[in-house]
Amino acid sequence: MGIKTALPRYELYLYTAVLAVALIWAGSWIFEASSENANRKTFKESVKPGWHYFGRKMDAADFEWVMWFTTFRNHILFALVGHVIFAKIFSLVAPKHRSLVFGVYGGLAVLVTMGWTFLALVLSHCIILYSVAIFKSKWMCFAAGLCTLASIKLEPFNSWQEALVTGSFNLQDILFYGGCGFSIMRCMSFALENCEKKEGNYTFSDLVKYNFYLPFFFFGPIMTFDRFHAQANNTQLIRKEREMWNITTKALLHLGGILVVDVFFHYLYILTIPSDMKLVAKLSDWSLAGLAYSNLVYDWVKAAVMFGVINTVAMLDHLDPPQPPKCITMLYVFAETHFDRGINDWLCKYVYDYIGGNHDQIFKELLATICTFAVTTLWLGPCELVYIWSFFNCFGLNFELWVAKFFSLPPLSTIESAMGEAMSRRIRGLFNAANFWAIVLYNVLSLNSLEFAKMVGRRLIFKGFPLTTLSVLLVTYCGVQLVKERERQQALLEDPEPVKPVDGGKEKAE
């Protein structure tokens, strides 16, 4: 309920003002803590020289971001530009064979980057899963795929395979685990899609062309085989109206995002501060809330920019790749929470939706979420922190269904129907605000540390009660209502209905 009903404009303006003041207030505390502690001993490893003329150092705690946009930026750009040039030439000259060019160029790039032993290792994974795929048994494909994935995530198998890769450079560990991990997930997608093929089997060359598509190879996102195969083998390469304009606009937005993050890293040390628990203990409650929230926002921005750069290349290849994840600010339910839409789509298609069906039965949903997070735990690499993260997110997803089932029963459902859509939206907003902070706390532990997450939880829920707890919930409630209003407007654009004013200056879709 409540999606069709607009709240009064003055109420939305009030929510916007409260949210803006709170964000500025929390940001000022983080800026002060960053400026006063820039030369702190514990910051030496992660706070590096930055803008000398402005007297600002830079938060360089995220190796992945530094790798992409500083240290190995030119190498990554060189490889991607080469892919774009070769793909464009063969798309014009021999469009029927462009998927083959994707695979050959990607294979050669992997060979040059990681050596023949790594290439042989990845091909061995492909051969194993292709051999299982031809039997067209889903449980065999899953068993073989998960065992292969476990071999690069669990000791001593992962150390043995990593030792096969010769040479040494800073990116080797990341490229090894990223390349092998994404490769195995793609091979599983190929095997499971082959089980759905009614006549015959896909060829091994189809798997190689799919797996060695360079933009997706090392860092993702994962595009399921059925979608990639159909789009990569499409010879009708016609651009839609304003498609190149949209691709260019998105590329410029990604560039703008990189510049904004660079500015923030020079003024707000949001990644370094949580690693110093002595400093964290001295910060105000609002600083901790702002740090927790900003860490998740940054992780979303990083995923959106990195996947966005790769997706731009994929769209130039006439592909429709998985979209960036939904912004954390727009999330207030666990069902929409993810930071990698490719992995999320893969899990939903082959595990979550396959087992859970329409997700309205409690026990089927419980089984589906347990299986989904079991696979996710293996994908991330089993350890104590991942176990805790998986448990709480699995619980949150199920708890939402339990609460929804409970409130759908009379007399609660009757009471909600009687109170009207606007009031129902406000009450739901209160629950959503609390749910938002559950999402933040359950996920910030995987981005920072368990100790930091526990500190934030204690300060916001126990030590800060009632003032901090209620004020943070109030600000979050304002944000949730603004998000709900945006969703309402989008829903009306997709399914327009006549709108007419009603009492009190409100607008209601009839």
pTM: 0.89
Range among 8-12, 475-479, 496-500 rated most confident: 475-479
Answer for the pair 337, 393: CB distance below 8 angstroms, yes or no: yes
Quickly list DSSP for 269-284: -TTTGGG-HHHHHHS-
Main-chain dihedrals φ then ψ at residue 49, nearest 5 degrees: -55, 140
Average pLDDT, integer, range 415-437: 87
Other CB atoms within 10 A of residue 253 CB: 14
Residue 210 scores a pLDDT above 70: yes
On the CB side of 154, CA atoms within 13 Å amount to: 9
Average pLDDT, integer, range 229-249: 88
Residue 157 scores a pLDDT above 90: no
pLDDT (tens digit, 9 = 90+) per residue, 427-462?
Answer: 889 999 999 999 999 999 888 889 999 999 999 999
List the structure tokens of 363: 């026990």
pLDDT (tens digit, 9 = 90+) per residue, 315-325?
Answer: 999 999 998 88
Containing 327, the helix (H) or strand (E) segment is none
Give the per-residue pLDDT at 506.
39
> Which of residues 152 and 416 earns the better pLDDT score?
152
Nearest alpha carbon to residue 84 among 107, 99, 102: 102
Give the per-residue pLDDT at 49.
87
User: In angstroms, rounded to a whole number, what is the distance separating the alpha carbons of residues 92 and 31?
Assistant: 52
Q: Which of 47-51, 257-261, 284-288, 430-434 has the lowest mean pLDDT?
A: 47-51
User: In angstroms, rounded to a whole number, what is the distance separating the alpha carbons of residues 360 and 364?
Assistant: 8
Nearest alpha carbon to residue 195 among 148, 147, 134: 134
Residue 498 scores a pLDDT above 70: no
Residue partners of 201: CB distance under 8 A and separation at least 6: 133, 134, 136, 194
Give the per-residue pLDDT at 389.
94
Residue partners of 447: CB distance under 8 A and separation at least 6: 295, 296, 299
Answer for the pair 262, 48: CB distance below 8 angstroms, yes or no: no
The CA-CA-CA angle for residues 355, 358, 364, to 5°, reads 45
pLDDT (tens digit, 9 = 90+) per residue, 294-317?
Answer: 999 999 899 889 899 999 999 999
Cis peptide before 49 (omega within 30 of 0): no
Residue 92 scores a pLDDT above 60: yes
Answer for the pair 433, 332: CB distance below 8 angstroms, yes or no: yes
Main-chain dihedrals φ then ψ at residue 50, nearest 5 degrees: -130, -115
Residue 502 scores a pLDDT above 50: no
Main-chain dihedrals φ then ψ at residue 234, nearest 5 degrees: -80, 120
Cis peptide before 501 (omega within 30 of 0): no
Q: How far is CA 488 from CA 416, 491, 503, in A?
A: 19, 5, 19
User: In angstroms, rounded to a whole number, what is the distance separating the alpha carbons of residues 214 and 316?
Assistant: 13
**What region, left, alpha or beta, does residue 449 occupy, with left being phi > 0 and alpha being psi -120 to 50 degrees?**
beta
At 308, the amino acid letter reads G
